[in-house]
Structure 1
Amino acid sequence: MEFDAVLIAPRRAESIARGWWPDRTINDLLDDYATSHPNKVALTAVQAESGVQQPFTSRQLAVLADRAAVGLARLGVGRGDVVACQLPNGWQFVVTYLACSRIGAVMNPLMHIFRQRELSFMLRHSEARVLIVPQRFRGFDYPSMVDGLRADLPQLEHVIVAGGPGPDSFEARLSDPAWERESDAHEILITCRPGPDDVTQLMYTSGTTGEPKGVMHTANTCLSNIAAYASRLRLGSADVVLMGSPMAHQTGFMYGLMMPFYLQASAVTLDVWNAATAAALMREHGVTFSMASTPFLTDLAREVAQSGMPVPSLRTFLCAGAPIPGPLVEQASRTLGAKIISAWGMTENGAVTLTLPDDDDERACTTDGTPLPGVEVKVTDASGATLPAGSEGYLWLRSCSNFGGYLKRPQLNATDGDGWFDTGDMARIDATGYLRITGRSKDVIIRGGENIPVVEIESLLYRHPAVAMAAIVAYPDDRLGERACAVVALKSGQALELPALVDFLKGCGVAVQYIPERLEIRDALPTTPSGKVQKFRLRQMLAEARPASEA
């Protein structure tokens, strides 16, 4: 695979000179950790359903990384090859990334909710040579799904199953044989290591094109963000991080997987979010920091309040993905005894803005924070002219952690010659430099921190035999922030109800979280003279109308 990360080289000299890029990789961090604190528990992987906890010291993880790396090399994986991973949070996910980094392979984390439609596109676009999946997770049979896709994925040479039987299990291929003791292991592990500007992570995000875009990151872009983030939050080696957000999202990957190695801290990962389990883990392991979307904070605060069992070690909870309601900040601060931090970021950049630990609580519910070191933001009008403080406009950012570009789609990189990246969001910046996201110019709905690819789902709705015209818009939800509503005009004589629509989209292989949870039938949809649906009018209609059909 040739990675067209064209946004890296032009900013290298300045990023190094200004101390933003550390010129180190996860390999350096892991080796340092294993040398300085070989017996410290670096990771405790928790399976929510079984309650099993698996602790690993930094030294054990270093050995497993070497072992799995040589195992991948035995499968023909080398520098620049893509290894896709559709695993839940757990030690296999962590070891896979560390192993890929040992031999210069690129890890492509895939959300466990993805089904045939999303998976086939991403695997084909990334030219993944290896896919690692669980045998079963949350009752779903992943190997069977992949078996149905392989005929259309000739470049996919190996499917490895974590917890599966036979010679293609994760255990048989990667984690059990002592590959690191083989005679050629040292040469493989030393000669194939990537540099800090090589692409190390490929993560797909949905955008205005309706198809996922492959975001390319290097060690330098990731670690420059992690360093600024950890400094802002005053995190160090004594901290214990609980990560219940999926590591296939940038939240879990950068701050639950990578950051603990940067800090030489301890991480506790949870594969399925459960507030009671999370609270118990916080008490058991002395968790000091966690990060997740707003619904997670709502659940945790409610659990602690109802159980009467505090989480005294928790110092900071960072929320991103949706605005935090003021009453929630007040309740969570009081109930958890922790500082609630508001943040905003993107897959392309990691965290961009954070409130400060010393800020008043009001900042967390009225702003999305102020830029991290190495980050600049500006708001412009449609012509590109910078607007004064307090004005709403188009949000641009210039960051040391800006991605390397979109794989095979440099024309979509949305970064000008001066390094300013068009976020696709609307925002305002107050006189003190605090940002507030006010809307999105790109057509994406965020449901509980998960982006719904609106254009792609709309295109599927038009395939339904009863649908003449369709649009998907957001409607507010107290817990998830937003949910998706399908507004549909039907063909003459046709009828459609929500359960039938859900079944249709499931039959198209759409992830459940992407399927609209409300259906509104209209005689016609409001449009511009050119025929474009006026979604702002649909949102107004939804606000004024009772749901016709809701899941």
Structure 2
Amino acid sequence: MIVVAALRDTSHANFRQAGYWLDKTVDQLLTEAVARAPDKVAMVADRADRDQAPRFTYRELDDLANRAASSLLRLGVGRGDVVTVQLPNWWEFVVTAFACSKIGAVMNPVMPILRERELVYILNFCQAKVFIVPKRYRGFDYAAMAQGMRAELPHLKHVIVADGEGETGFERMLLSADAGELPAGLRPDDMAVLMFTSGTTGEPKGVMHTSNSLIACCKALSGRFGLDSSDVLLVASPVGHMTGYAAIVLLSVYLGGTMILQDIWEAKRGVGLMAREGVTYTAASTPFLSDICEAVKGGSPQPKSLRSFLCGGAPIPSALIERAAGELGLKVCSLWGMTEVLSGTLTEPSRAADKSASTDGRSLEGMEVRIVDTEGNPVPAGEPGRLLVRGAQMFKGYYKRPELPTFDGDGWFDSGDLAYMDKDGYIRISGRVKDILIRGGENVPVVEIENLLYKHPAVSAVAVVGFPDARLGERGCAFIVPRSGSTIDLTAVQAYLGEARMAKQFWPERIELVAELPRTASGKIQKFRLRELAAAFAEAK
């Protein structure tokens, strides 16, 4: 471990010397943006349930963040304490993120789709002192859910409710008092954000990122896309993911640009926002791009300023890239990344037409990728192998899980993905070692779903796999061997997972009852055969 630590210290020094690490903190980005252009619009906060979208200048955003930071201090939140935030793309999320940085607290964004089962684990694991939720969002009562969980959360001191009234309301608790003097905030190498992955072995892992790694992502993306302070960025991807949080929200403040928040993705409204606000850049998964094209085809105004679309989470059909270029004049740039890596590879706009459909890009500045065989030896171009990555955007480690493998002796991280590299250095993800499926850019925790279904009295054996879907990339199919004398259908499966308080987006959308599951001689389920069977479902449409 001493050798590895020394190696990482050396690589960190190299990141600084090369300019990949700027030794700034998240809150410094906001301070610098205020100094450059205090009266420039920093944020436009569109909400589906409101006609007017409030606009905030950089000066106003900074003032709100300072007041929220002072209030968090009064609530007992200090350096290293975790603030869990389950908000959609609302302005309150952005204010909280910068407030946490100002006092050295750790921002822990979680997706609005999560429910009690996932949240109790996360909140207890990171011992969050504060939990911030919306009062209601998409018809669901988050405030009631949060209060109902209190008995299971001994470390939680405060539930704060955006749109809430009374003592627990966001504005009452965090914004009603003037800002006081703040202590020193984050340091560049402190954990700035803690984001949990969808668990593939039953337990999500907390991924730790520093200001240095987050800002390295912003610097690399802005360089490859040629972005500057004149750019307007649409935040339609959830801020509970690194795409929304790092690749758009933080990137916008890094640039000193303007972010447009959209809390519920609805293509016609989103395209209208792009046209009205002059959006030039956004980042999202493939379904968003397809929806934009369909909305414009259906009569929505063309977003003429939109020139760059960062697209990740699933392969991009070549027909969709050609359609976006032809109908929107848009360059779609493929990306490979993950919570631990942020943005690892990206196709630059100048190569989008010939590389985005067939590759997931080449390594970004400050990042390295290599593809190796099972012995760790590099493989020739075009040959598949395990994808390793290292560089300035890498995570710090897994929170409270030092036993989990991270970096080898040379600083490489095994992504768990299979890929091959072409002669130009562009990679293509060809499979996944990890047993997950990706639905609409969201990692679905297959093993956890299977473990739950195994407990159902009608289930003897089960395996969940993905099958192709034109819009979402994949949907989930559960192959079930029912117990003798029992039967089960999709409605029963979904009801059971709902009772187990699992997020609805993780539920299988198809089930197939089978007499047995295909297995190897040693008894291991052959999921590749199930995927072949499930692929027929997409073809049959």
Give the distance between the partners of 2:50 and 2:479, measured in 1 at CA: 41
Secondary structure class of the residue paired with 2:333: strand
Can you list the C-alpha shifts for 1:489-535, whole angstroms capped at 9, x where unaligned?
01100000100110000000000100000000100111122222110
Amino acid at match of 1:476: P
Q: Where does residue 146 of structure 2 map in the other structure?
A: 146
Q: What letter matches 1:48 in structure 2?
A: A
Selected match of 1:359 from 351, 374, 381: 351
Within 2, Cα distance between the matches of 1:545 and 1:240? 40
Normalised to the residue count of structure 1, the TM-score between the two structures is 0.95
Aligned to 1:220: 212
Aligned AA (1:193)? G
Within a 5 Å distance, the mapping from 1:153-172 to structure 2 comes to 153-172=153-172
Identity of aligned residues (%): 49
Equivalent residue number for residue 41 of structure 1: 41
Give the Cα–Cα distance (whole angstroms) in 2 for the partners of residues 91 and 10 of structure 1. Answer: 39
Per-residue CA shift, 1:4-27, capped at 9, x if unaligned? x99975642222122211000122
State the shift of 1:52 in Å.
Answer: 2.8
Whole-angstrom distance in 1 between the partners of 2:34 and 2:301: 35
Distance verdict in 2 for CA 1:545–1:265, change over 3 Å: closer
- In structure 2, the residue corresponding to 1:343 is in which secondary structure? strand
Cα drift, residue 411 of structure 1: 2.1
Which sections of structure 1, spanning at least 5 residues, go unmatched? none
Q: What residue identity is the alignment partner of 1:133?
A: V
What does 1:10-409 correspond to in 2, within 5 Å?
11-178=11-178, 180=179, 185-186=180-181, 189=182, 191-307=183-299, 309-409=301-401
Q: Distance in 1 between matches of 2:537 and 2:104?
A: 54
The question of whether the paired residues in 2 share the 8 Å contact of 1:207 and 1:442 is answered with no
Following superposition, the deviation at residue 348 of structure 1 comes to 0.7
Change in CA separation of 1:33 and 1:8 when aligned onto 2, cut-off 3 Å: farther
Question: Please, what is the CA RMSD of the aligned residues?
Answer: 1.7
Aligned equivalents of 1:78 and 1:28: distance in 2?
18
Is the 1:283–1:312 contact (alpha carbons within 8 Å) kept by the matching residues of 2? yes
Give, in whole Å, the separation in 1 of the partners of 2:485 and 2:371. 48
What is the deviation of 1:362?
2.8
Aligned mates of 1:126, 1:260 — CA distance in 2: 28
Map 1:434-513 onto structure 2 (within 5 A).
434-513=426-505
Q: Scaled by the length of structure 2, what TM-score is found? A: 0.97
Structure 2 Cα separation of the partners of residues 49 and 450 of structure 1: 25
Matched residue of 2:334: which SS? strand
Distance 1:52 1:413 in 2: 48
**CA, structure 1 residues 164+332, in 2 after alignment: closer, same or farther (shift >3 Å)?**
same
Q: 1:127 to 1:291 in 2, by over 3 A?
A: same
The answer on 1:422 being equivalent to 2:414 is yes
Q: CA deviation at 1:49?
A: 2.7
From 513, 528, 531, the equivalent of 2:523 is 531
Q: Matched residues in 2 for 1:546 and 1:297: separation?
A: 20
Q: Report the CA distance between 1:351 and its aligned residue.
A: 1.1
- The verdict on how the C-alpha distance between 1:111 and 1:308 changes in structure 2, with shifts beyond 3 A counting, is closer
Query: SS at 2:492's partner residue?
Result: helix
For these two proteins, the number of residue pairs brought into alignment is 537
CA contact (8 A) 2:129 2:156 kept: yes
Q: Which runs of 5+ in 2 are unaligned?
A: none
1:89-136 deviation digits (Å, cap 9, x = unpaired): 011000000000000000100100000111111111111010000000
Q: After superposition, what is the alpha-carbon deviation per residue over 1:69-95, rounded to whole angstroms, capped at 9, x for unaligned? A: 000001000000000000000110000
Which digits, 9 at most, give the CA deviation of each residue in 1:452-508, with x for residues without a partner?
011111100001000010110000001000001001101100000100110000000
**Contact 1:354 1:372 (8 Å CA) reproduced:** yes
Partners of 1:207 and 1:443 within 8 A in 2: no
Per-residue CA deviations over 1:251-298 (Å, capped at 9, x if unaligned) read 000022111111011110100001111111111111111111000000
Alpha-carbon deviations, 1:3-54, whole Å to 9, x = none?
xx99975642222122211000122111111112010001111102323301
Go from structure 1 to structure 2 and tell me whether the alpha carbon gap of 1:460 and 1:115 turns closer, same or farther (over 3 Å shift).
same
Residues 26 and 261 of structure 1 are in contact (CA less than 8 Å); yes or no, is this contact kept in structure 2? Answer: no
CA distance in 1, matches of 2:13, 2:310: 32
Equivalents in 2 of 1:425, 1:32: separation in Å?
A: 38
Cα 1:6/1:332, change in 2 over 3 Å:
farther
Distance 1:170 1:6, change over 3 A: farther
Distance 1:544 1:55, change over 3 A: closer
Cα distance in structure 2, aligned partners of 1:148 and 1:466 = 30
Contact kept? 1:520, 1:547, Cα under 8 Å: no
Aligned partners of 2:520, 2:177: CA distance in 1, in Å?
63
In structure 1, C-alpha distance between the alignment counterparts of 2:320 and 2:202, rounded to whole Å:
33
Provide closer, same or farther for how the CA distance between residues 438 and 9 of structure 1 changes in structure 2, counting only shifts above 3 A. Answer: same
Give 2:272's aligned amino acid: A
Distance 1:6 1:54, change over 3 A: farther
Change beyond 3 A, Cα 1:57–1:546: closer
Residue type of the partner of 2:347?
Answer: T
- Give, in angstroms, the shift of residue 450 of structure 1: 0.5
Q: Secondary structure at the match of 1:528?
A: coil
CA contact (8 A) 1:356 1:369 kept: yes
Structure 1 residue 196 displacement after superposition: 0.2
Q: Deviations over 1:405-456 (max 9, x none)?
A: 0111122243102110000000000111001001100011100000001111
